[in-house]
Amino acid sequence: MQQNLEQLSHVIQSVRAEVGKVIIGQADVIDKAIIAILIGQHALIEGVPGVAKTLLVRTLAHVLGCDFSRIQFTPDLMPADITGTSVFNFQKNEFNLVPGPIFTTFLLADEINRAPAKTQSALLQAMQERVVSIDRHTYQLSSAFTVFATQNPVEYEGTYPLAEAQKDRFALKITMPCPERADELDLARRMLGHDSPEASLTNGVVQPLLTIEHLQESRATLEQLAVRDEMLGYILDIVRATRTHEAILVGAGPRATQSLLMSSRANAALFGHDFVSPDDVRSMVIPVLEHRLILRPEYEIEGLSLTEVLQQILQSVPVPR
């Protein structure tokens, strides 16, 4: 088992390094995206325009040897534009499926909150069950099907907030900040030459490292990582504390417990550990829980943020020894 975990750690480090050739100054974001992939769940990426949200997902798909599709969500986008539709073939006198962009491995739902709820809901079944229903027929998606949805945190005009059920299906919310000055200066220098991040992705600088089969093996190896009963209780107590905190109107549900457990285990593997520690759990609390909670209006008016509330909860829940 130890050898398998060491091999998994080596694979993860290689993927981090390869993606880092394109995505500059976003090491923590890359780590969180890899965690979402390792646990077989979906991620919501939030950041201002121009911080390489789309490029991040394209690069991950390339490095992991997976298919990639992108959907630009707009107010006039229809569910059939995502799932596909059946078209009548006059020569064969039958309906044939014209698959939509959802039939892929890595799907980028760009600016998902630009489309109304009816269109957003076209992703729900695929995200939960990895199947798509079209005209009473059900089609299987890739076992590694992963949705990365992006949204702009500052521009709300003409947007449709994600429903709570939709947000709950995203295991992580990854906040993508602007790069530090040194990293942005490095990016500017690269743009003057022929080694811009986009060029690195297309000119062979970044190489595919895995296949879907290897990715599935990595996920199976992750399941070997030990989680003590005390750590399970710690995770459960943190999630349950969100349901009773005076500043929270709607707390996290059981799916949040599962996401926090799996992402904590993946975080341990990311740093070469063979067991989950309290530090692994604490580092994943905000990415896993923040987007699932609703703050009471009176506390929001006072300027309290969900990040501060979660930090209060972490201080109040006893840490197992």
Q: How far apart are CA 280 and CA 165, in angstroms?
A: 26
How do the pLDDT tens digits run along the chain, 321 residues long? 565 878 888 888 999 999 998 998 899 999 999 999 999 999 999 988 888 899 999 999 999 999 999 999 999 999 999 999 888 788 878 778 889 999 999 999 999 988 988 898 889 889 999 999 888 888 999 989 999 999 887 666 667 888 888 899 999 999 999 889 998 898 888 888 777 887 777 777 788 888 888 888 888 888 888 889 999 999 999 999 999 999 999 999 999 999 999 999 999 998 888 889 999 999 999 999 999 999 999 998 998 999 999 999 999 999 987
Please tell me the predicted confidence (pLDDT) of residue 81. Answer: 93
- Sketch out the chain's domains with CATH numbers: 2-224 (3.40.50.300), 225-321 (1.10.8.80)
Q: Look at residue 3 in the predicted model and tell me its pLDDT.
A: 55
Cα–Cα distance, 151 to 204 (Å, whole number): 30
| Tokens encoding 200 | 């690195």
85 pairs with which residues across the strands?
A: 98
Amino acid symbol at 61:
A
SS3 31: helix
Per-residue model confidence (pLDDT) at position 307: 94
Rounded-to-integer distance, Cα 66 and Cα 92, Å: 33
Between the alpha carbon of residue 113 and those of residues 81, 120, 140, the distances in Å are 16, 8, 26
Helix residue ranges per DSSP H, 203-228 = 212-222
CA 250 to CA 270: how far, in whole Å? Answer: 31
Report the DSSP beta bridge partners of residue 139: 132
Coil, helix or strand at residue 302 = coil
Residue 303, judged by CB atoms within 10 A of its CB (0-12, 13-18, 19+), counts as: exposed
